[in-house]
Amino acid sequence: MPELVFFSGTMDCGKSTLALQIEHNRSARGLAGMIFTRDDRAGEGKLSSRLGLVTDAVEVKDEQDLYAYVVDHLSQGGRADYVIADEAQFLAPVQIDQLARVVDDLSLDVYAFGITTDFRSKLFPGSQRLVELADRVEVLQVEALCWCGARATHNARTIGGEMVVEGAQVVVGDVNQAEAVGYEVLCRRHHRRRMTAATARAAALSPDVLPMTSA
């Protein structure tokens, strides 16, 4: 039976790489897919991974009806055997409903990829709707690591290496950027303490509060 599957995880855990792998495997078997994405790091209309792989995709716009888009494509003689939606956390809840309708009414598998929570540890509306509607939720097993070596569970937004907890929910950046807006994955403990790799290094290099003296 066709399914709506949500592949979730933190940043830097290989979601887009898996999306590209699924596309490769199915296209190699003669299947044709439709790929949606939004705000990819490689630019508009691209699905890319940090490994350097990239393919063309349909850039989703605000208020766009994804179900109608697929139906129109099929009605004009196009082919779609499955649908991939990357950066699904940026989709509106109604657009997630439309992807579910693609599964139910058109009998196509839909593979959605995205992070679950934002830099404030709050659910993205699109991801929340996917958790509510998906036939399966798969947490990716490629573990991203915090700078301390523990399993990373939270996404942090940084400016100049320092973690910030206020601002718009969606600001496009990349992981481990030292300047401007960047993103970093952290374990829960260091996310709570707002301690990024940069601030941890700074703390390690700072002098002791109580200087040690010889007896």
Question: Span 183-207, mean pLDDT?
Answer: 81
The catalytic site residues sit at: 87
pLDDT tens digits, one per residue of 85-135: 999 999 999 999 999 999 999 999 999 999 988 888 889 999 999 999 999
Contact by Cβ (8 Å): 24, 51:
no
> CB-side exposure of 132: number of CA atoms within 13 Å?
12
Mean per-residue pLDDT for 72-92? Answer: 96
Dist CA 13 CA 181 (whole Å): 20
| Residue-wise pLDDT tens digits, 31-64 | 999 999 998 776 788 888 777 788 889 999 999 9
pTM above 0.85, yes or no: no
Stretch 8-24: mean pLDDT: 84
Q: What percent helix, strand, coil does the chain show, rounded to 5?
A: 30, 25, 45
